[in-house]
Structure 1
Amino acid sequence: MKRILFSICLFVGLASVSMAQSAQYESVMTKNVTMLDDSANFNPDRLLEIGNTFERIAAAEKTQWLPFYYASYCYVMSALMQRDNDKVDDLADKAAVNIEQAEAISPKNDEINCIKSLVATSRIRVDPPTRGMKYGMESAELLAQANQINQENPRVYMLQGQSLFYTPEQFGGSKTEAKKKFQTALEKFSAFKPASAIAPHWGEAYTKGLLAQIK
């Protein structure tokens, strides 16, 4: 009888600890994801700070893919916004390491493919003439794979449109085709429901901004 009671108490105790840890994880993640919803934080240095925080969360929560995902997101966005091209590859490398760790936990994930596509895109800006074809094709292939996984993900269409928008017409870009992608993305955003408060949900305002430039 004592053994049964001990087992029950142990189980309850472990469950309580697990619930507390889960609540703490949700709380700290929500706090930092909310920061990414604030445009005031979208500058290279601030994104690096938030990315470092997500890396620390990831180090403590090694079975969760979202901290690695958001760390990578912050680093690649910082890379894309850098004025100093000498810093881009290092940031892209940091983003790549984190998103690979996220993928190891959650394979065949369309959201992860979107970030991997952005990492490839960020590398182009260092030297477009020599890197454009290689990383442009890599980025497009990753988005095509993401679309196969989930055709309802608005970020896939947004990123495809972004590529068409910024690529010169002589290299396959098209504002007309970009507009179609952005319109599709906004249709998908209107129906999109994130799996949770900390699940990826970025991109709608940015899509509207790019579409407005075309109009």
Structure 2
Amino acid sequence: MKKLILSFALSMLSLTAFAQSQYEKIMTEKIAKIETCKTTEDFNALSNDFQRIADKEKGKWQPSYYAAFSQIQKGRILMRENKVTELDAVADQAQKFVDLAEEADKNNSEIYLLQKMIYSLKMMVNPMERYMTFGAKAEETLKKAEQLNPQNPRVTLIKAEDVYFTPEQFGGSKKKGLELFKESLEKFNSFKPKTALDPNWGKSEAEYFIGLEAKK
């Protein structure tokens, strides 16, 4: 009887390990696709993929995080294309996923950073009218993300973006932005994600802006 119980327990452990390895394999493949997505359709499809994983893997924050991140990247493309009237809907969709990620892992710097990015998308629909609301919320959540992990290179990267692209009359500075991009790159060079599935994006963007300024 004891041998039967032991055999059953070992079988369950084996199945659990197999399921976990399959989950990690699928997640790793989907995360890699982030770098290859070019269009809003690409990011929307990827977000849907992560949502399906999140529906199956209850209690894990990463699938919902990447579903939200994919929506945010979709929004950033729309912003570059000046399709700002579509940003509210994208931000609202991303918010649903961020809420699920936060339920699974509270006080996570990475999740707070996505929240900041969602508020920024909301603000960009009409910056003049929304700065005092969504702009203020974005600043507040960015500070929280930094408090939770001062060494998070993505926090410094997003700070660099904000300073770099904000006009000087509103407190922006390309010089200060470049300094922050360099600071973020230093952090990227020493940063190690807790797991293979944790966020590790942003280094190439910091390198791009540093290289861009070096060419001038």
Q: How does 1:10-49 map to 2 (within 5 A)?
A: 10-38=8-36, 41-49=37-45
8 Å CA contact retained: 1:175, 1:214: no
Provide the C-alpha distance between the structure 1 equivalents of 2:65 and 2:115, rounded to a whole number of angstroms: 10
8 Å CA contact retained: 1:75, 1:92: yes
What is aligned with 2:169? 170
Q: 2:46 aligns with which of 50, 57, 60?
A: 50
1:107 aligned counterpart, secondary structure:
coil
- Offset of 1:214 from its aligned partner? 4.1
Provide the C-alpha distance between the structure 2 equivalents of 1:164 and 1:210, rounded to a whole number of angstroms: 13
Query: What letter corresponds to residue 150 of structure 1 in structure 2?
Result: N
Deviations 1:134-182 (A, max 9, x none): 2222112111111111111100000011111122222222222212211
Query: What letter corresponds to residue 168 of structure 2 in structure 1?
Result: E
What is aligned with 1:136? 135
Structure 1 stretches lacking a partner, 5+ long: none
What is aligned with 2:115? 116
Query: What letter corresponds to residue 17 of structure 2 in structure 1?
Result: M
What is aligned with 2:5? 7
RMSD: 1.4
What's the TM-score, normalizing by structure 1? 0.92
Percent identical: 29
Q: Report runs of 4+ in structure 1 exceeding 6 Å deviation.
A: none
Provide the C-alpha distance between the structure 2 equivalents of 1:146 and 1:208, rounded to a whole number of angstroms: 22
Query: What letter corresponds to residue 22 of structure 1 in structure 2?
Result: Q
What is aligned with 1:191? 190
Provide the C-alpha distance between the structure 2 equivalents of 1:139 and 1:200, rounded to a whole number of angstroms: 20
Provide the C-alpha distance between the structure 1 equivalents of 2:59 and 2:12, rounded to a whole number of angstroms: 18
Q: How does 1:145-156 map to 2 (within 5 A)?
A: 145-156=144-155
1:206 aligned counterpart, secondary structure:
helix
1:182 aligned to 2:181?
yes
8 Å CA contact retained: 1:55, 1:71: yes
What's the TM-score, normalizing by structure 2? 0.92
Provide the C-alpha distance between the structure 1 equivalents of 2:72 and 2:96, rounded to a whole number of angstroms: 11
Query: What letter corresponds to residue 163 of structure 1 in structure 2?
Result: D
Provide the C-alpha distance between the structure 2 equivalents of 1:132 and 1:154, rounded to a whole number of angstroms: 25
Provide the C-alpha distance between the structure 2 equivalents of 1:13 and 1:51, rounded to a whole number of angstroms: 34
Deviations 1:52-92 (A, max 9, x none): 10000000001110000000000011012113323211111
Provide the C-alpha distance between the structure 1 equivalents of 2:133 and 2:211, rounded to a whole number of angstroms: 30
8 Å CA contact retained: 1:140, 1:160: no
Q: How many residues align?
A: 211
Provide the C-alpha distance between the structure 2 equivalents of 1:138 and 1:153, rounded to a whole number of angstroms: 20
